[in-house]
Amino acid sequence: MGLPGGLFGFEGDGWRANPLGDVCPAVMPRPGLGCHLPISCFPPGDVAGPVQQLADVPITEEDLLRLVGQGKTLPGTQRRVFDALVAASKSGALWFHEISRSGLRLSHFLAQCCIESSSFQKLDEGFVFSTLAGLLATHGRYLTEEQAKSFLPEDQKTRHDAIKLKAGEPKTPEEKKALEQALADSDVAEKRKPQELANTVYANRNGNGGVESGDGWTYRGRGLIQLTGRGNYREAGKALDLPLEAQPQLVSKDAEIALKTAAWFWTRHKLNDHADMDDALKVSQAINLGPNAAGGKGKPNHLKERQERTETAKAIWGDWALR
C-alpha cells in the first residue's frame, strides 16, 4: 500500500512513514552524501549527529511562467499542474526521486514535461491531425501513407456532398431514410477516427492487445510525461498504489497523479543519469522513442523544441548545484 505524508511513497524502496507523518528513508543516504532528512523525521532524542534540513531546488509559479514564456497562468489544466508542481517542491516530494537534488536534473525534467504537455496545458494525447505530414512525422513508423490518409479528418460538407452525389436524388421515403442514415453513419465514423488511429499505432506494444482490443485508445498517452501502453499503466499503478490500469483517466484528470507518473517514469528509467551529463538528446530519445532508444540513432519528435526548452530551464534553475 502507499505511504502517507507526501506525494510519493513506493513499497520496497526503503521508505517508511514515521508517527509525525513524514516519509523518510529507512536507511541512511549513501556514504559521503551526508544526511539531508528533515529534523521531523526523527523523534525527540533520536537524532544522532548533525542533521541537515532537506534542501530541494525550489519551484515557483513565477519561474514556471518564465519556462513557458507567459505573463500569467492560464486557468484550467495549467493552473492545476502549476499548483501540483509548487506543492511538490514545498513538500520535498520530488526529493524521493532525486530529481530536484540539482538544478540540472530539475531543468531537464521540467523542460521535457513542458513539451510533452504543451506548456502544461494538456494531459491527454491528441489524435486529430490536420495534415498528412504531421501525422506521418508523429506515427509514420507504424503507418503506411495510405493508412495515414484514411485517418485525416474530412470536412462534413465535403463528406456529405460526396455521399449525396453517390446516392443520387432520393425518390422514395425509404431512399430518403437510407441517405439520412448514411450521412449519420459518416459522422459517427469521422468521430471515431482518433480512436481507430490510436488503436492502430499502439497495437501490440507496451502491453497492449491488438487493434480490436481498443487498448491503444484506452491506454493512450497521458500525464506530464505521456504514460502510454497498458503495461506501463499497470506497472506505474502498482508502484504508486493507484488503480491506473482500471482507471487510466486518472492520469489526465488529476494533476498530482500526472506528476506522480512522470516522476515514476523518470526514475524507473534512470533519466537522471542522462540529465547529470546534460544530454538533452538522450533524455528526449528515452521519453519520445522509448527508454531503450537513448543513445541510438533515432530522432525524437520536437527535438529542437526540447533542447531549447531545456536551455531555458537551465537559465532558471541550472545554477543550483547537486545537493
pLDDT digits (tens, 9 = 90+) for 166-184: 778 888 888 777 777 776 7
Are 236 and 270 in a shared domain? yes
Are 187 and 302 in a shared domain? no
Is residue 60 classed exposed, middle or buried when 0-12, 13-18 and 19+ CB atoms within 10 A define those classes? middle
Among residues 86, 83, 67, the alpha carbon closest in space to that of 75 is found at 83
215, 239, 255 — which closes off a domain?
215
Say which residues have a Cβ less than 8 Å from residue 104's Cβ, sequence separation at least 6: 275, 276, 278, 314, 318, 322
Residue 153 sits in which domain range? 132-215
Name which residue leads in pLDDT, 131 or 313.
313
Whether the per-residue pLDDT at 15 is higher than 70: the answer is no
- Phi, psi at 273, each rounded to 5°: -60, -45
Kindly state the average pLDDT of the residues 178-195: 72
- Check residue 130 and give its pLDDT: 82
Are 141 and 173 in a shared domain? yes
Name which residue leads in pLDDT, 30 or 191.
191
Kindly state the average pLDDT of the residues 53-58: 66
The H or E element containing residue 164 is helix 156-167
Kindly state the average pLDDT of the residues 62-89: 96
pLDDT band at 189 (very low <50, low <70, confident <90, very high): low
Q: What percent of the chain has pLDDT over 70?
A: 76
* 322, part of any domain: no
* 187, part of any domain: yes
Are 109 and 239 in a shared domain? yes
Q: How many domains does the chain have?
A: 3
- What mean pLDDT, rounded, does the chain reach? 81
* 323, part of any domain: no
